[in-house]
């Protein structure tokens, strides 16, 4: 009899189920390099990257992590060659359509954050359907940052708050952290506890600038398409070794 390879379906025993991050954010980087190393066009890396994201979502669900936010397309990514941008937009659309039934089965609630109105109409329509259909699902909260920029998000919040002040709805004194975060795309979501960036780059690249204030940052050299359960396991082990002080000191 052969024993099945361990799929780490259950939480690995060296992880503490009571100290898991509630919200994981991930900068899925390195798709182009992954493809390049194999002599493939960059877009093949993006295609493979979708599988890695699906696997991570399932892993979060299996291990009891309630929220995942993935950076899919930044406001700066429009500066890439138009064929790559077009491929990505079509990929997002196709994947959404293809995965909706499974997201319903698995009770995934999907949300998109970013300037969605600048996306192709057909993608916007697919996004609207997916968000609406999954709105009452009670499983994992899955957020996809698409045409997202942290600076743009903060400016948008400022404009909307300024408008409220101008309209006499609130006074300037009323602007505090609590109010400010209500004007962010992520108003309903907790701040990430853990930020993972793949491909070894030590930067934020305009992701969740406000929300990451006290996130633990984990950078791995693994390229995004290769980021699997065991890579996530390593990230969580590192996270659980961190001493989160939030500016205070240990007793
Ligand atoms: C991340 O991989 C995916 C997106 C930004 C859409 P990249 O496409 O940035 O891959 P590299 O960094 O060039 O290897
Ligand atoms: C960040 O990756 C954006 C996404 C993963 C969607 P980039 O590849 O665009 O970031 P830089 O250019 O290395 O900072
Ligand atoms: Mg990159």
pLDDT at res. 7: 54
Counted residue by residue, the chain has a size of 251
CA distance 6 to 210: 38
pLDDT at res. 9: 84
Say whether 16 is catalytic: no
Report H helices in 64-185: 82-105, 121-134, 150-166, 177-182
Which residue in 74, 202, 194 sits closest to 145, CA to CA?
Answer: 74
Q: Is 53 helix (H, G, I), strand (E, B) or coil?
A: helix
Q: Which of 45, 53, 80 to mutate to test the pocket of ligand 1 (most atoms within 8 A of CB)?
A: 45
In order of start, what are the domains of the chain with their CATH numbers?
20-149+193-239 (3.40.1180.10)
Ligand 3 centroid to Cα of residue 250, in Å, is 37
Say whether 29 is catalytic: yes
pLDDT in tens, the chain (251 residues): 455 545 558 999 999 999 999 999 999 999 999 999 999 999 999 999 999 999 999 999 999 999 999 999 999 999 999 999 999 999 999 999 999 999 999 999 999 999 999 999 999 999 999 999 999 999 999 999 999 999 999 999 999 999 999 999 999 999 999 999 999 999 999 999 999 999 999 999 999 999 999 999 999 999 999 999 999 999 999 999 999 999 999 87
């Amino acid at each position: 009899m052969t024993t099945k390879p361990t799929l780490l379906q259950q939480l690995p025993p060296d992880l503490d189920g009571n100290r898991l991050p509630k919200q994981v954010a991930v900068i899925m980087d390195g798709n182009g390099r992954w493809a390049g190393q194999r002599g493939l066009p960059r877009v093949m890396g993006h295609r493979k990257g979708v599988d890695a994201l699906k696997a991570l979502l399932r892993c979060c669900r299996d291990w009891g992590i309630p929220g995942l936010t993935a950076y899919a397309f930044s406001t700066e990514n429009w500066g890439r060659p138009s064929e790559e941008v077009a491929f990505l937009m079509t990929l997002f659309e196709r994947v959404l359509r293809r995965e909706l039934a499974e997201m319903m089965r698995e009770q995934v609630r999907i949300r998109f954050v970013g300037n969605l109105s600048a996306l192709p109409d057909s993608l916007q329509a697919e996004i609207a359907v997916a968000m609406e259909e999954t709105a009452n699902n009670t499983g994992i909260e899955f957020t996809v940052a698409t045409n997202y920029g942290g600076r743009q998000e903060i400016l948008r919040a400022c404009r909307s708050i300024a408008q409220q002040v101008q309209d006499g709805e609130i006074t300037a004194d009323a602007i505090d952290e609590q109010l400010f975060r209500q004007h962010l795309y992520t108003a309903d979501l907790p701040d990430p506890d853990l930020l993972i960036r793949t491909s070894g780059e030590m930067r934020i690249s305009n992701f969740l600038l406000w929300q990451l204030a006290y996130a633990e940052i984990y950078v791995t050299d693994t390229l995004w398409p290769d980021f699997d359960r065991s890579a996530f396991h390593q990230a969580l082990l590192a996270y659980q070794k961190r001493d989160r002080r939030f500016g205070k000191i240990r007793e």
